[in-house]
Amino acid sequence: MKNKRRNHIKGILLFGAAAALLLLTGCSKNEVESVSFEQLESFQVEHEFLQKESESMIDETISPSEEIDLDNEENIENTTDIDTETKPEETEQIEKKELILASEDWGLHFGEEGTQPVGNASAADLKAYHSYYVGEDSEKVIYLTFDCGYENGNTEPILDALKKHQVPATFFVVGHFLETAPDLVKRMVEDGHTVGNHTYHHPDMASISALDDFQKELDDVSACFHEITGTDLAMYYRPPQGKCNAANLEMAEELGYSTIFWSLAYVDWDTEKQPSHAEAIKKLTARIHPGAVVLLHNTSQTNGEILDEILTKWEEMGYTFLPLSDLVE
């Protein structure tokens, strides 16, 4: 088999060299006979050199014992693995384009108590877009977040409870909160908390398809925050009302943001129908789970009144608290 390959390569080289000679000398078919002996001799020397080089390459790359058997499944499998490993970015890009959210409204399905809920998209699929809704289920860790639409007197007791327990939190703010409660924003930073982007006007971001419009909602918050604090806003984005689609996630990622959903929330935003303390504590303790990204609203009077107690109960259940920087990669 080795000799056959060599003879085949010799034939190719002879044909190629002859063709090259015709081109180099500018000879037509009828002028080949006028090629000098010196030219032919030079051609022969070059041919012999190329021939030796090709034979050397054959000897170095394939020995009789190393010839590839394409009928061997192991070799075919190894070849496939090599191709796959050399194109990881292409594979990831294809997977990202195929992401389909079950709904443009972020939602959760809860199973047994203490277990992670199932979201509209899997944690693995979201991660391809630098998006997250839950952490690892192997450790009893909580990532506490608050959505801040406006100030009605409940943010300060929330900050007090967090400070008492030395719990880090992330506050997702909108333009109105920044403009009307700058002192609270400054305190969030001073107390060591993270401030994220909840858009300037709190629109339905799933309805925005133009990158410029999408970016303006985020840039205006970032600029206002920097003006108040003199520091840069954390690159965490939470879609208002959890409304989003794959295109939104791609735009947020392109702008450098990680999109943060949640794995635990309850109906605490209606200021006219606040849940009782008992009702809120029951829901927040029964549904807490390892790796939970908890969403609470700063406008909830109930949250301001029970946060100290609920933090104590979570601690008694063995949970610790980490900032989003420990979740986002």
DSSP count for the chain of H helices, then E strands: 12, 10
Q: Which amino acid is at 14?
A: L
The dihedral built from the CA positions of residue 254, 132, 298 and 270, taken in this order, carries a sign that is: positive
Specify the pairing of strand 236-237 against strand 108-109: unpaired
* Closest to 262 in 3D by CA, of 96, 110, 113, 95: 110
* Active site (annotated) includes residue 183: no
79: Cβ–Cβ under 8 A, 6 or more apart, which residues?
none
Residues 263/119, Cβ–Cβ less than 8 Å? yes
User: Structure tokens of 255?
Assistant: 């702008």
Specify the pairing of strand 169-173 against strand 141-148: parallel
CA atoms within 13 A on the CB side of 311: 22
Give the span between the Cα atoms of 195 and 235, in whole angstroms.
9
* Closest to 252 in 3D by CA, of 240, 263, 236, 231: 236
* Active site (annotated) includes residue 147: yes
Q: How many CB atoms lie within 10 A of CB 70?
A: 8
Q: Which H or E run contains 172?
A: strand 169-173
Catalytic residue from among 147, 193, 268, 289? 147
- Backbone angles phi and psi of 54, in degrees to 5: -65, -40
Q: Which amino acid is at 5?
A: R
Residues 262/133, Cβ–Cβ less than 8 Å? yes
Q: Which amino acid is at 153?
A: G
Give the span between the Cα atoms of 71 and 79, in whole angstroms.
12
Three-state secondary structure string covering 224-278: HHHHHHCCCCCCEECCHHHECCHHHHHHHHHCCCEEECCCECCCCCCCCCCCCHH
Q: What residues are labeled active site?
A: 147, 297
